[in-house]
Structure 1
Amino acid sequence: MPLITIIGAGPGLGLEIARAFGQKGFDVALVARDQSKLDALAQTLAGEGIHAQGFTADVSVPATITNALQSIRETLGPIDVLEFSPADRTLESVDALKVTMENLQPQIDFYLGGAVTAVGAVLPDMIESNTGTILVTTGGGSLAPTPARGNINIAAAGLRNWTLNLNSALADTGVYVALVAITALIGGGRPDAEPAVIAKEYVKLHAERRDAELHYVAYDR
């Protein structure tokens, strides 16, 4: 069975991405900070015939990410798809006029640093095997101005830039990297902002292996 690993797994989009790939025959490794919540998600997926297992890690502590990914490889086998979409709502988000290095650095460390750590842990094996998919999720502010989130969007824009550069650098290796930037209140009531709808786009990106990025915008209908 191919294996998808979801970093930042939760009951919304993370669960639906797991479900969407699981329905395509993937096993699922779920990574987040709370083992009990991960176990609940794994149990939900198991009830649908999808083999899933949770592994704890904190994106703000790089060693826990590398340890979790190593445990996943030892327990479930090689990682075919890595999806990175953690969030930490305890980090201070400030207006563009109020950005300082003190409130910017934690955003950079969490989002960009977390991705660099996670991708760096799986990329050598993917390059060696000439296959693999890495899908990185950010908010739409990574490419569209949203002054109210001045500091987080600096980190998101840096993450977007690095992801697109990876896509180009890995073009001849068999490893596919893409960015998903979401402009939507996920699960907020709009039909096209429902997690299950958005998750299908991740499967499509992986299957087609064509576009370097997707800006997913949910509109009222």
Structure 2
Amino acid sequence: MSSVAIVGAGPGLGAAVARRFGREGFRVGLVARDRERLDALAGALVAEGITAGGCAADVRRPEELAAALGELAEALGTIEVLQYSPVPHRDFMRPVLDTGHRDLVGPIEFSVYGPVAAVQRVLPGMRRLGRGTILFVNGGTAAVPHPERAGTSVAFAAESAYGHLLHERLAAEGIHVAQLVIPGAITPGHARKDPDALAETLWSLHRDRHGFRHYADDLDS
């Protein structure tokens, strides 16, 4: 049995994706920093009939993140789908002229070291399966840099480049890599940016397996 691992799982998008993949028979692994919230979400999913479990980890600690994904794979089955979607810290969003080199350490750890550690941990299992999906979820600055949000603009650009390189290299192995850019905030009730609508989009990216970058909504909305 294979599983989906959601890095940055929370009560909004993470929970919606967990339920969407759970309906398709996937076991669900959850990763976030808050152990109590993880346990609550996993418990709610189990109560709905979805096999789920969580491991607490900080994405800025690559070894900790890799270990959490390893534990989830052992408990729930090989990770066939990895979603990397933690929400960036507010202090990553400084104006560009107020951003020094040390201010970029956190964003790079968050959006580059974390994804690389996660991918490296799950990739051997996907290769053994002969299939897999890696989904990167980013804000609008991944596509259009914003001078008031320098940290995420720089780090998301690097994450996007890494994802695109993976997309090109892994396609021949049956492993699909895609990015979903969500301009603005995730908005309950919005036709395209409601958590359930976004979860459906992410399921479609896994199912349909075409192209790298996709948009949840218009960039100027």
Answer yes or no: same fold by TM over 0.5. Answer: yes
Please tell me whether the aligned partners of residues 94 and 150 of structure 1 are also in contact (alpha carbons under 8 angstroms): yes
CA-CA distance at 1:89 after TM superposition: 2.1
Distance 1:192 1:171 in 2: 27
Distance 1:22 1:169 in 2: 29
CA-CA distance at 1:189 after TM superposition: 5.2
Q: Which moved more, 1:47-56 or 1:83-92?
A: 83-92
Distance 1:139 1:180 in 2: 8
CA-CA distance at 1:91 after TM superposition: 3.5
Q: CA RMSD in A?
A: 1.9
Distance 1:143 1:97 in 2: 20
Quick one: structure 1 residues 189 and 147, their matched pair in 2 at CA, closer, same or farther if it must change by over 3 Å?
Answer: farther
Quick one: structure 1 residues 94 and 202, their matched pair in 2 at CA, closer, same or farther if it must change by over 3 Å?
Answer: same
Match of 2:18 in 1: 18
Match of 1:111 in 2: 111
Match of 2:54 in 1: 54
Please tell me whether the aligned partners of residues 192 and 216 of structure 2 are also in contact (alpha carbons under 8 angstroms): no
Match of 1:136 in 2: 136
Quick one: structure 1 residues 2 and 125, their matched pair in 2 at CA, closer, same or farther if it must change by over 3 Å?
Answer: closer
List runs of 5+ in structure 1 lacking aligned partners: none
Match of 1:100 in 2: 100
Distance 1:177 1:76 in 2: 22
- Between the aligned residues of both structures, percent identity stands at 38
Q: Given residue 44 of structure 1, which amino acid in structure 2 is its aligned partner? A: A
CA-CA distance at 1:184 after TM superposition: 2.9
Match of 1:170 in 2: 170
Distance 2:219 2:36 in 1: 35
Match of 1:9 in 2: 9
Distance 1:220 1:96 in 2: 21
TM-score, normalised with respect to structure 1:
0.93
Please tell me whether the aligned partners of residues 80 and 125 of structure 2 are also in contact (alpha carbons under 8 angstroms): no
CA-CA distance at 1:96 after TM superposition: 2.0
CA-CA distance at 1:188 after TM superposition: 5.6
CA-CA distance at 1:92 after TM superposition: 3.6
Match of 2:30 in 1: 30
Distance 2:126 2:2 in 1: 13
Aligned pair count reads 221
Quick one: structure 1 residues 37 and 218, their matched pair in 2 at CA, closer, same or farther if it must change by over 3 Å?
Answer: farther
Distance 1:218 1:41 in 2: 31
Q: Given residue 216 of structure 2, which amino acid in structure 1 is its aligned partner? A: Y
CA-CA distance at 1:187 after TM superposition: 2.4
Q: Which moved more, 1:209-218 or 1:148-157?
A: 209-218
CA-CA distance at 1:192 after TM superposition: 2.5
List runs of 5+ in structure 2 lacking aligned partners: none
